[in-house]
Amino acid sequence: METVKFSKAVYALQAIKKAAYKFIDKISVNIRDEGENYLVDLIFSKEISPEAKIFILSEFSKEVLDQDLRESIKTETEAYRNLILAHVFSKTPLVTDE
């Protein structure tokens, strides 16, 4: 098992969960709240090689960052995104005049 620390001030919990979910086929994960940080225990299967372990750890961290950014950017750009998509569908029968 390896434990990774993520500062609460920097990373959203949702992002950590989403990243953990993506690795569900390779590892099981336990997320703990400890003061200013989230602690994530990554539990590997016994047969895993050291190289594979390192690879998964680095991929996991990347994934947390990715998911975190996706979430914040998605929220920030929601209004613009909805406007454009509404414009795209504006002449189809899917958008009704309400």
Q: Smallest distance from the beta carbon of 83 to other proteins, in angstroms?
A: 10
CA distance 38 to 60: 14
What is Dmax (Cα atoms) for the chain?
60
**DSSP string of 30-98, one letter each residue:** EEEEETTEEEEEEE--TT--HHHHHHHHHHHHHHHHHHHHHHHHHHHTHHHHHHHHHHHTTTSTTS---
Amino acid at 50: P
Q: Which is closer to other proteins, CB of 30 or CB of 58?
A: 58
Q: Smallest distance from the beta carbon of 43 to other proteins, in angstroms?
A: 22
Q: Which is closer to other proteins, CB of 34 or CB of 49?
A: 49
Q: Which is closer to other proteins, CB of 25 or CB of 36?
A: 25
Residues near other proteins (CB under 8 A): 62, 66, 69-70, 73-74, 77-78, 80-81, 84-85, 87-94
Q: Smallest distance from the beta carbon of 86 to other proteins, in angstroms?
A: 9
